[in-house]
Amino acid sequence: MATVLRRLSLKAIRNLSPQHSGFTYPLSTPDPSRFLVKSIRSLAFRHPYSQSMCSLANHEASIDAALNLDDRVPATIITGFLGSGKTTLLNHILTAQHGKRIAVIENEFGEVDIDGSLVASHSSANEDIIMVNNGCLCCTVRGELVTMLLELVKKKRDKFDQIVIETTGLAKPGPVIETFCTDEQISRYVKLDGVVTLVDCKHAMQHLNEVKPRFVVNEAVEQVAYADRIILNKIDLVSDADLEALTKKIQHINGMAQMKQAKFGIVDMDFVLGVGGYDLDRSIIFVSYIYLAFWLCRIDSEVPSDGSHCENHTHQHGHECHQAHHDHKHDSAVSSVSIVSEGTLDLDELDDWLERLVEEKGEDLYRMKGVLSVIDSEARYVFQGVHSTLDGCPGKPWDPEEKRVNKLVFIGRNLDESALRKGFKGCLV
Ligand SMILES: Nc1nc2c(ncn2[C@@H]2O[C@H](COP(=O)(O)OP(=O)(O)OP(=O)(O)O)[C@@H](O)[C@H]2O)c(=O)[nH]1
């Protein structure tokens, strides 16, 4: 069925664009994305097959939604590039007064779980934080997402009111969204409420403009393009002029999403929960998904690049996804190095090493984070880095019986693993 829908959708989109392989819109249209979504929605409504394309479960769900009988669990996807503030927002959601019990699915790019402990320390319901490490929900561990969602809703449905999924900073949101629209089991129990994208105002322009090799998709652009809500985070780190330029750039990519500026992800809860971004017939969602893929081709062609376009819609980050219509690789130059080691660190040595590191490699070091055991401290030391921005503070105290294990993750371009391990060793007392 999905294939039929896909073909019809592609045809519909092609009909909108008689002049070239991208698509055109009336010159008088102030916002092309709005026009296209409207057109595609009306096409989907009018299409005789649109009602028969979805599964029975989806039909029932749509009718229930219309009658306000929809008791499926709403799920929110939090996405955004590495270090943009996703975990910070998640902690805000977990501690804010909204009366909702939240189950969290955390997806980390490195094989070491750092965010899990940082999130768990804020949550009162630790057992409902599920970690998925070392793979992207958009590809390698997508199956796990389905399994975990089903387990949550089937075994613990009475324990929470909302699911929040934090993707890795290198995830493509499209395939994750598609899981909610196309998996019959998931759509029976869970409804996608919205996609919230965090934007790091200090570094976003660099990533949005990044030149990618041919067929490699820019994840930062995709994360903005698929958003229902965009949080322009870290406004404390940029000038008004930079903020204005970034806002324009983002509006150009996605003119539909509501946008809010924030520091440390502080926004009203109704901006991120209860968005209702997908309270439409599933077929329309799927059509919109296809539309977005096409819209992204158009954006990609406008983002400075070496001529790449989306014939094959492929991106890389060291592993590949072989789903029918979103084959993609993530950028193979981007990888992670995880260090797990016992021992105590000299904080001064550590500071010196990290400062030297970001001075030399800051441009390529997208993200660093760690939970460390430092000398003369009963508490964990938590350090965070995004390019050359470094931050460190005491975290939760170690339990007296607990083995003090240092965990660090570096994510970036062309990482020198042996140099990183050597640098770390040099800080041990
Ligand atoms: N100055 C400033 N720092 C911020 C703000 N929001 C978050 N940070 C810091 O940015 C760093 C990264 O924040 P996280 O919330 O861990 O980012 P993330 O998107 O979850 O990171 P990954 O999961 O690694 O992709 C942390 O040191 C935060 O304290 C902000 O508004 N201003």
pLDDT, one tens digit per residue, over 2-55 is 433 333 333 333 333 333 333 333 333 344 444 444 344 333 333 333 333 334
Asked if residues 63 and 151 have their Cβ atoms less than 8 Å apart, the reply is no
Q: What is the pLDDT of residue 50?
A: 34
Supply the angle between the helices 347-361 and 417-425 in degrees, to the nearest 10.
160
What is the rounded average pLDDT for all residues in the chain?
Answer: 75
Q: Which of 105-119, 137-151, 204-218, 298-312 has the least mean pLDDT?
A: 298-312
Q: What is the pLDDT of residue 111?
A: 58
Inform me whether the pLDDT recorded for 128 exceeds 80.
no
Q: What value, to the nearest 5°, has the Cα angle with vertex 414 and ends 408 and 420?
A: 35
Distance 57 CA to ligand 1 centre (A): 39
| Ligand 1 neighbourhood includes 336 CB (under 6 angstroms) | no
Identify the three-state secondary structure at position 340.
strand
Q: Tell me the C-alpha distance between 352 and 368, whole Å.
A: 15
Residue with tokens 């919109």: 288
Q: Which of 120-124, 150-154, 206-210 has the least mean pLDDT?
A: 120-124
Residue identifier of the C-alpha nearest atom 15 of ligand 1: 85
Distance 265 CA to ligand 1 centre (A): 9
Mutate to test the pocket of ligand 1, among 88, 384, 391 (most ligand atoms within 8 A of CB): 88
Q: Tell me the C-alpha distance between 175 and 215, whole Å.
A: 17
Q: Tell me the C-alpha distance between 128 and 227, whole Å.
A: 25
Distance 385 CA to ligand 1 centre (A): 8
Closest ligand 1 atom number to CA of residue 169: 25
Arithmetic mean of pLDDT, 107-114 = 68
> Who wins on pLDDT, 190 or 286?
190
| Ligand 1 neighbourhood includes 88 CB (under 6 angstroms) | yes
Distance 21 CA to ligand 1 centre (A): 39
Tell me how crowded residue 413 is: count the other CB atoms within 10 A of its CB: 14
Write the pLDDT tens digit of every residue in 380-390: 999 999 998 99
Q: What is the pLDDT of residue 175?
A: 84
Q: What is the pLDDT of residue 303?
A: 42
| pLDDT classification of 70: cutoffs 50, 70, 90 | confident
Closest ligand 1 atom number to CA of residue 411: 24
Closest ligand 1 atom number to CA of residue 369: 24
Distance 233 CA to ligand 1 centre (A): 9
Residue identifier of the C-alpha nearest atom 1 of ligand 1: 234
Q: What is the pLDDT of residue 86?
A: 95
Asked if residues 234 and 202 have their Cβ atoms less than 8 Å apart, the reply is yes
| Ligand 1 neighbourhood includes 115 CB (under 6 angstroms) | yes
| Ligand 1 neighbourhood includes 84 CB (under 6 angstroms) | yes
* ipTM summary value: 0.99
Closest ligand 1 atom number to CA of residue 263: 31
Q: What is the pLDDT of residue 44?
A: 36
Inform me whether the pLDDT recorded for 233 exceeds 70.
yes
Q: What is the pLDDT of residue 41?
A: 35
| Ligand 1 neighbourhood includes 266 CB (under 6 angstroms) | no
Distance 371 CA to ligand 1 centre (A): 15
**DSSP bridge partners of 341:** 406
| Ligand 1 neighbourhood includes 308 CB (under 6 angstroms) | no
| Ligand 1 neighbourhood includes 87 CB (under 6 angstroms) | yes
Q: Tell me the C-alpha distance between 229 and 213, whole Å.
A: 29
Q: Tell me the C-alpha distance between 381 and 396, whole Å.
A: 8
| pLDDT classification of 138: cutoffs 50, 70, 90 | low
Q: What is the pLDDT of residue 147?
A: 86
Arithmetic mean of pLDDT, 240-268 = 96
Identify the three-state secondary structure at position 119.
helix
Write the pLDDT tens digit of every residue in 321-341: 434 334 556 677 788 899 999
Q: What is the pLDDT of residue 107?
A: 82
> Who wins on pLDDT, 64 or 132?
132
| pLDDT classification of 121: cutoffs 50, 70, 90 | low
The H or E element containing residue 179 is helix 173-182
Percent over 70 (pLDDT), the chain: 64
Residue with tokens 């939970």: 371
Arithmetic mean of pLDDT, 89-112 = 84
| pLDDT classification of 159: cutoffs 50, 70, 90 | confident
Identify the CA nearest to 211 among candidates 87, 304, 91, 330: 304
Contact residues for 303 (Cβ-Cβ < 8 A; gap 6+): 208, 209, 218, 221
Which token pair is 242? 């930079």
**CA 408 from centroid of its chain's CA atoms:** 21
Identify the three-state secondary structure at position 77.
strand
| pLDDT classification of 69: cutoffs 50, 70, 90 | low
Distance 391 CA to ligand 1 centre (A): 10
**CA 222 from centroid of its chain's CA atoms:** 9
Q: What is the pLDDT of residue 120?
A: 55
Contact residues for 312 (Cβ-Cβ < 8 A; gap 6+): 215, 327
Arithmetic mean of pLDDT, 104-115 = 72
Q: Tell me the C-alpha distance between 218 and 194, whole Å.
A: 21
Distance 216 CA to ligand 1 centre (A): 26
Supply the angle between the helices 2-16 and 32-46 in degrees, to the nearest 10.
130
Arithmetic mean of pLDDT, 266-284 = 78
Q: Tell me the C-alpha distance between 183 and 177, whole Å.
A: 10
Distance 83 CA to ligand 1 centre (A): 5
Q: What is the pLDDT of residue 13?
A: 34
Query: For the whole model, what pTM was predicted?
Result: 0.74
Arithmetic mean of pLDDT, 164-174 = 89
Distance 170 CA to ligand 1 centre (A): 15
Q: Which of 58-67, 272-281, 365-374 has the least mean pLDDT?
A: 58-67
Inform me whether the pLDDT recorded for 101 exceeds 70.
yes
| Ligand 1 neighbourhood includes 110 CB (under 6 angstroms) | no
Contact residues for 360 (Cβ-Cβ < 8 A; gap 6+): none
Arithmetic mean of pLDDT, 128-154 = 72
Residue with tokens 């520091």: 263
